Structure formats: structure tokens, C-alpha cells
Amino acid sequence: MAQKMILDLDTGIDDALAIAYALGSSEVDLIGITSEYGNVLTERSVVNSQQILHLLGHPDIPVYLGAGHSTTTNDFSVLPISAEIHGQDGVGELHLTEPHPEMVTESAVDFILRACQEYGADLSIVATGPMTNLALAIQKDLPTLKKVGQIVIMGGALTVGGNVSPFAEANISQDPEAADLLFKSGLPVTMVGLDVTLRTLFTRTDTAEWRALGTPAATAYADMVDYYIKAYEVTSPHLHGCALHDPLAVAVAIDPSLVTTFPLNLKTEIEGPSRGRTIGNNARLDDPTTRTAVCVQVDTPRFLTEFKARIGHLLAP
């Protein structure tokens, strides 16, 4: 039976790749997408997810409005670096014009809790934006959230530096308090951080293969990822490609054997220059009830093969 999956996204370009990876995987039944602020405003994240779902032939999957700002602020503005990497619209200035459906009225947090109640251990939540919706769900009803099978997050950096500060990765830095609450909640969390995502790179040679497929979805994905690669050529020229952050988290939720994990009780530093750093929690280093694990190595060739096969199949005529 396919695993039920919720994607919690701040829908930028690699989040759109996470959607495609999930839809291209027969092991997954994508039951809904919940929206976060981050690469874009939350309302824009909803529209982007709806338009991507439409483009990929799944317009009926519901998209839920989530948090518009962090748990410690009252509003949110998109950072210039996010707009540079993902475009003003979050999806590489694609200007998707398909009509999008009416917004569902149930909140992201209520949907997450309802799904945990209904599917329990069969449910995976993959979060690839700030951890705010999960923190709000923890605050509202942790016992129900604890019925979930697994939570896989794209966020953090344990063995490498950050990408928005020397210490902090972007998703964690948006709401360090939320990430800290998640790590200390007792929920089963696998952290797919920069330690592994910066080892999974996609190039213009790869997007040319998509473009050659000739479908509207393949062309849109090739355009979108070329935009993302162009931004990486400016911000991280040494990588010679773009990092497949968010789809790797989906892949790990489906097949944990793609990575090597290190069990570690985590915390997020919330004070001073290291605010947003994900690191071992000294107070619980010997606590045997470790529920958090950090991915420290990835089988890059196997992941890239899976990525190309699954998304290529989805984008093909």
C-alpha cells in the first residue's frame, strides 16, 4: 500500500521538484500540500503549489493555507536572496496562467492533525520550508501529532556551515524557535540538511534532457530549474549545478536506505550569532530515547538515478 504523504512547502523551485518527485513515485499517495512562508509569501506558496499540481495533471490534490510568519514575529517579507534564487514569483518567473481552484477552508494545522488521526503510522510528513506549521501543530495537539509515522525535514546543517549565515540553513533560520520545539518534541524526525543536499546536484545537461521530452510540463520544469541553476552560478559557482534540497527529503521518506543517518538528540541555537544552528543537545546527549536522526551521507549516484527516472517519467508525453 502506498504511504500517505503531506508536503509542507514554501513553494519555490526545489519545493516544486519535491512535488514532482512525490507524484512520480508509486510508493506515495500525496494527500495534500500545506503552505508555509519562506521562498515566497504563504498565499503565493498556495498558488504556486496549485499551479504546479495543475501542470503535472493532479489539480484535485488539496492545498492548505498555513502560517504566514514565524512563531516569534507578526509579519514576514521575502528576503532578497530568496527572490534572487527562486524568482519574484518563486517559480523562476514561469508566469503560469492556469486557473487555480478555490482555497480550501480547513487550516494547514487542522489538516495535518486530522491526517495524523486518520492515517497514524501510515502517514509521512515531509517539511521543506520553515518548521512553523509543525510547531503550531505541536502547540495545538502533540498527542495527535505523535500518531504520525515519520517526519522528514529539509533543513539544518550539522557537519557543514549554513547557507544564510556561517551557522544557519535557510529553513531553520526563518523560525529557529519552531525548529527547536520540533527537535525537542519527541516526534520522529529525520533531518535532511545541507550535509547531504549539497552533494546532490543537477546541471544544464540534465535539464536539456527534460526539455527534449517536449511536453508543456517538461518545458516548464526545464525553464524553472535553469533559472535556479543560473542563480547558483552566481551564489555558489563552485557547485557547478543546483542543489536538490527538497526532493531529497521526499526521496529519503520513501527510501531511507539512500542515506546514512546519525541518531542524535538535536536542538536549535536561538541566541547570538549562531542563531539557527542545528546541533546536538548537550542536555540530552546520553538520553536513550533519541527520536531525531541526521543524514550525514547520501548515495548520490543512486538518488540522481531515481530522481531522473521518476521525474522524467512524470514529465514525458
The number of helices, as runs of H, and strands, as runs of E, in the chain is 12, 12
| Residue 128 touches Ca ion, criterion: CB under 5 A | yes
Residue among 124, 163, 190, 278 that touches ligand BDR (CB under 6 A) = 163
Please count the residues of the chain: 317
| Residue 277 touches ligand BDR, criterion: CB under 6 A | no
State in angstroms the smallest separation of the CB of 130 from Ca ion.
Answer: 9
Q: Which is nearer to Ca ion, 3 or 48 (CB)?
A: 48
| H or E stretch at 63 | strand 63-64
Distance CA 22, CA 19 (A): 5
Helix 176-183 to helix 132-145 angle, to the nearest 10 degrees? Answer: 20
Just list the catalytic residues.
Answer: 10, 245
Which does residue 163 touch among Ca ion, ligand BDR, none (CB within 5 to 8 A, set by kind)? ligand BDR
- Alpha carbon of 95 to those of 99, 156, 304: distances in Å? 12, 31, 28
Rg (CA), the chain: 18
Distance CA 175, CA 4 (A): 26
Q: Which is nearer to Ca ion, 44 or 291 (CB)?
A: 44
State in angstroms the smallest separation of the CB of 49 from ligand BDR.
Answer: 13
State in angstroms the smallest separation of the CB of 169 from ligand BDR.
Answer: 5
Q: Which is nearer to Ca ion, 265 or 278 (CB)?
A: 278
- Alpha carbon of 159 to those of 92, 154, 162: distances in Å? 30, 15, 10
Of residues 75 through 104, those in contact with ligand BDR by CB under 6 A are 82
Which does residue 44 touch among Ca ion, ligand BDR, none (CB within 5 to 8 A, set by kind)? none
Q: Which residue, 88, 31, 86, is CA-closest to 64?
A: 31
b/e sequence 68-94, b meaning 16+ C-beta within 10 Å: bbbbeeeebebeeebbebbbebbbbeb
The single-letter DSSP state of residue 12 is: S
Q: How big is the site for Ca ion, counted in residues (CB under 5 A)?
A: 5
Q: In sequence order, which ranges of the chain are alpha helices (DSSP H)?
A: 13-23, 42-55, 80-86, 108-119, 132-145, 170-174, 176-183, 194-197, 204-211, 216-235, 245-254, 300-315
Q: Are 151 and 187 in contact (CB under 8 A)?
A: yes
Residue among 94, 170, 217, 251 that touches ligand BDR (CB under 6 A) = 170
State in angstroms the smallest separation of the CB of 156 from ligand BDR.
Answer: 9
Which does residue 36 touch among Ca ion, ligand BDR, none (CB within 5 to 8 A, set by kind)? none
| Residue 265 touches ligand BDR, criterion: CB under 6 A | no
Which does residue 169 touch among ligand BDR, Ca ion, none (CB within 5 to 8 A, set by kind)? ligand BDR
Helix 216-235 to helix 300-315 angle, to the nearest 10 degrees? Answer: 140
Show the binding pattern over residues 28-47: x = contacts ligand BDR (CB under 6 A), - = does not: ----------xx--------
Of residues 110 through 139, those in contact with ligand BDR by CB under 6 A are 128
Among 165-173, 181-189, 229-237, 303-311, which window interacts with ligand BDR (CB under 6 A)? 165-173
Show the binding pattern over residues 212-251: x = contacts ligand BDR (CB under 6 A), - = does not: ---------------------------------xx-----
| Residue 171 touches ligand BDR, criterion: CB under 6 A | yes
Which residues sit at the interface with ligand BDR, rule CB under 6 A? 12, 14-15, 38-39, 82, 128, 154, 163, 169-171, 245-246
